[in-house]
């Protein structure tokens, strides 16, 4: 993924600490993003589809707590 694609694609940010989709602040000129909620850099980004798939966001099972793959 290139930097130019970030605003063109449906990119979302996922904070591994908050364990949810979050908004981010970009750090300087680097490809580093911090979570607006908790402030860590423990943020993954990708398309809605890839993030949902990787973190299993779209697979909540009834009566079962959502788990995060590490």
Tell me: does residue 37 bind Zn ion (CB under 5 A). Answer: yes
Tell me: does residue 35 bind Zn ion (CB under 5 A). Answer: yes
CA 31 to CA 3: how far, in whole Å? 8
Tell me: does residue 21 bind Zn ion (CB under 5 A). Answer: no
Tell me: does residue 17 bind Zn ion (CB under 5 A). Answer: yes
Tell me: does residue 38 bind Zn ion (CB under 5 A). Answer: yes
**Stretch near Zn ion under the rule CB under 5 A, chosen from 3-11, 17-25, 46-54, 55-63:** 17-25
CA 44 to CA 70: how far, in whole Å? 12
CA 35 to CA 15: how far, in whole Å? 6
């Amino acid at each position: 993924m290139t930097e130019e694609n970030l605003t063109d694609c449906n990119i979302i940010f996922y904070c591994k600490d908050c364990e949810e989709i979050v908004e981010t602040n970009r750090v300087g000129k680097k490809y580093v993003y911090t979570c607006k909620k908790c402030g860590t850099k423990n943020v993954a980004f990708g398309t809605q589809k890839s993030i949902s798939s990787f973190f299993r966001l779209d697979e909540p099972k009834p009566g079962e707590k959502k788990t995060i793959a590490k």
